[in-house]
Structure 1
């Protein structure tokens, strides 16, 4: 089975709230014949679009290929949260990589959020960044960590935009009995993710990028120049950048040993009144909780609650996504019982064993940047800028990311899914204890 088509129609966006509420791009033609360029970028999500844009702005002749449509994958289906830092907390990064590297990773995370804000200011990006993400603790044993972590970022990292929320203040902001404390980060934010992806595509096209859709790469030749082959085209390029993430398939086995696909699901309620919205979530903040299988939610600009949760590791989405996601939504907000669900959709992201991105130089002129593990809106966008500067000869930020430990999944691609299912059963049990 092919993740590109097993849950979706070829050439069509999913029936998501995002696809229904943004101005679509005209389709791009498929690649045909022999095409030459400086750089061939494979994958039209945030990473690929940002790579193509930043290379074109540097004067490179860039071809971007997408097997479906630009923004078709996780970049157009996610929760829209623009989180600070990396997927791991700074405490964990200091243990993983040491204090100096952890500080460099924090700076990279800050740069990622700043880049999204800067790009979103373009007239070609028809989406607005809304400030504020709350991290909500679902167990009392996490309260001390949240208080200490906010203080650490304030004192050790000079970041004064995050603060601790006690139970009373958290309940005022997030009217749910499920949470006992948390943090509020007003330097983070949220955005319409598909509109942002479309904006990047418009910017890339305006900068001169040649974009081809429905052009799945089936073979790579690692030589100079390198070749990317589709069913109807050979793209000959001085450099190739892979940005396939969860949709890599069998194109690059070594990357697939480090990055595996995971399915996640979101629902959108009917529009609520402003009063109903305030009874759920004040100040239009986004929220992600402390569960291992994270619940995340925010309101759309037209007052719908967008609630994400539940995961699966097989190829197929559940037959009833709405019912699967309503369960954690109603556990979190019992007052929403009886609320109509207007949209329900799934998407496939790429995760790594340690939840840190996997950056790799596959040969002298072929790069891969993927495995953003649910933290990709900002980091994947910055990864494109990093890929562009690396090709231009400045690899400092690339090397910081590429030198991080990146363990392979046990059992390779054949056994990674069943082993992850067993691990997830344990962690979901731990969430309930």
Structure 2
């Protein structure tokens, strides 16, 4: 079981550049609400905000601070769609439903943009994303993806960038081409989370920080969520804990693997050097199995992410190891220092498709974002609110996807993950 400790945000560039935000007192005593949301990350905040807009009273419980987990630590890349290929969904549903799933993947980015605009969230949103080819087969795959998206879904908001034109996006000789998406982008994730919390509180959501949900039980009136110093009675419950679900719903938790990934932030590069490095200020991710991703911050730092492990602690020397990775793409940054290095847990499913569903008719969960959490969490929050408000058709589409337990239980998951990462690295090398 993952152990959760109450603490402030982990030291990171995001925490250092976060906007001032109000603290929320812990729960003390007994409260009632229409909906109890467990988890103060993107999923929980978007669910609470959408439910409050529909007139529901909402109590949100966060075991630490708003955005403490992956929502406040991730790479900040806002990419339309899902981590899995679209044909993952085709195994479980007819083509017309696959099309609806695809449309929702595009809609997910629009939901984030609409929330940022409606609630005036200052989180450095910038549009533009490039998927960069490391190998000749990646070139073929990206071109095929462009053509398939156009023919199958009528999607034409991307174009292929030839190698000789890559200088418009990135000053590196490492890549052979790329697929540019104008409708995806990047943002400051912690400030986005804090902005969502501010909007939710303004809409009447009662937020309780440093309040860990210990147990969930059914009652005559609905459900009771027990915490250390109080409890919430609610008709509906939304479990938005992701990698930190633990024993609150063990059958659901077995469908995901908590995976640690890491990010470093350089010192500020200066406006001229930053612009030369990434002229279009787009987010970039490569095509390897063990992928690397990077972008510029609003103050001109390079934020570089990658690597993965099953460890729940920050490995020794991770900053220097990540710096070496960065220099393979940008050797011209050899004189640049790393100011921040941090990590966090994402929640991955075996097929990399998001995992939405119900434990009971009125207990909802959404997890398994598998690295696409910035956008798909916003979609999850909207769909959960629709479902609770008796409009469950879109939410239930995701319930058609079969998700398997990770084999080996809690003892063997980590060594099996390490073997899988070794296999991925071998595939990338070959």
Of 156, 168, 174 in structure 1, the residue corresponding to residue 170 of structure 2 is 174
Deviation at 1:91, TM superposition (A): 4.6
Question: In the aligned structure 2, how far is the partner of 1:96 from the partner of 1:280?
Answer: 43
TM score, norm. by length of structure 2 = 0.96
The alignment status of 1:113 with 2:115, answered yes or no, reads: no
Q: Could you tell me whether the CA contact under 8 Å between 2:88 and 2:353 is conserved in 1?
A: no
Question: In the aligned structure 2, how far is the partner of 1:396 from the partner of 1:98?
Answer: 15
Question: In the aligned structure 1, how far is the partner of 2:203 from the partner of 2:108?
Answer: 21
SS at match of 1:196: helix
Q: Could you tell me whether the CA contact under 8 Å between 1:154 and 1:162 is conserved in 2?
A: no
Of 8, 19, 26 in structure 2, the residue corresponding to residue 23 of structure 1 is 19
Task: Show CA shifts across 1:203-258 (max 9, x none).
Answer: 10000000000101111113441111111111111011000001112221111110
Question: In the aligned structure 2, how far is the partner of 1:126 from the partner of 1:399?
Answer: 33
Residue in 2 that maps onto 1:368: 365
Deviation at 1:2, TM superposition (A): 4.0
The unaligned stretches of length 5 or more in structure 1 are none
SS at match of 1:258: coil
Question: In the aligned structure 2, how far is the partner of 1:171 from the partner of 1:142?
Answer: 18
Question: In the aligned structure 2, how far is the partner of 1:207 from the partner of 1:232?
Answer: 25
Residues 171, 106 of structure 1: CA spacing in aligned structure 2 closer, same or farther, 3 A cutoff?
Answer: same
Of 279, 282, 291 in structure 2, the residue corresponding to residue 282 of structure 1 is 279
Question: In the aligned structure 2, how far is the partner of 1:346 from the partner of 1:42?
Answer: 23
Residue in 1 that maps onto 2:136: 140
The alignment status of 1:193 with 2:193, answered yes or no, reads: no
Residues 95, 276 of structure 1: CA spacing in aligned structure 2 closer, same or farther, 3 A cutoff?
Answer: farther
SS at match of 2:216: strand
Residue in 1 that maps onto 2:47: 51
Deviation at 1:99, TM superposition (A): 2.7
Question: In the aligned structure 1, how far is the partner of 2:420 from the partner of 2:167?
Answer: 32
Q: Could you tell me whether the CA contact under 8 Å between 1:310 and 1:324 is conserved in 2?
A: no
Residue in 1 that maps onto 2:394: 397
Alignment of 1:55-204 (within 5 A): 55-94=51-90, 97-204=93-200
Residue in 2 that maps onto 1:386: 383
Residues 236, 91 of structure 1: CA spacing in aligned structure 2 closer, same or farther, 3 A cutoff?
Answer: closer
Deviation at 1:414, TM superposition (A): 2.9
Residue in 1 that maps onto 2:426: 429
Alignment of 1:249-288 (within 5 A): 249-288=246-285
Larger displacement relative to structure 2 (94-103 or 260-269): 94-103
Question: In the aligned structure 2, how far is the partner of 1:162 from the partner of 1:95?
Answer: 26
Larger displacement relative to structure 2 (164-173 or 416-425): 164-173
Question: In the aligned structure 2, how far is the partner of 1:50 from the partner of 1:260?
Answer: 23
Residue in 2 that maps onto 1:211: 207
The unaligned stretches of length 5 or more in structure 2 are none
Deviation at 1:172, TM superposition (A): 4.2
Alignment of 1:226-241 (within 5 A): 226-241=223-238
Q: Could you tell me whether the CA contact under 8 Å between 2:168 and 2:280 is conserved in 1?
A: no
Residue in 1 that maps onto 2:4: 4
Residue in 2 that maps onto 1:309: 306
Larger displacement relative to structure 2 (108-117 or 121-130): 121-130
Q: Could you tell me whether the CA contact under 8 Å between 2:139 and 2:178 is conserved in 1?
A: yes
Of 319, 339, 352 in structure 1, the residue corresponding to residue 349 of structure 2 is 352
Task: Show CA shifts across 1:322-356 (max 9, x none).
Answer: 11211211111111112111111111111110111
Residues 284, 53 of structure 1: CA spacing in aligned structure 2 closer, same or farther, 3 A cutoff?
Answer: same
Question: In the aligned structure 2, how far is the partner of 1:241 from the partner of 1:324?
Answer: 38
Residue in 2 that maps onto 1:329: 326
The alignment status of 1:409 with 2:421, answered yes or no, reads: no
Question: In the aligned structure 2, how far is the partner of 1:259 from the partner of 1:304?
Answer: 33
TM score, norm. by length of structure 1 = 0.96
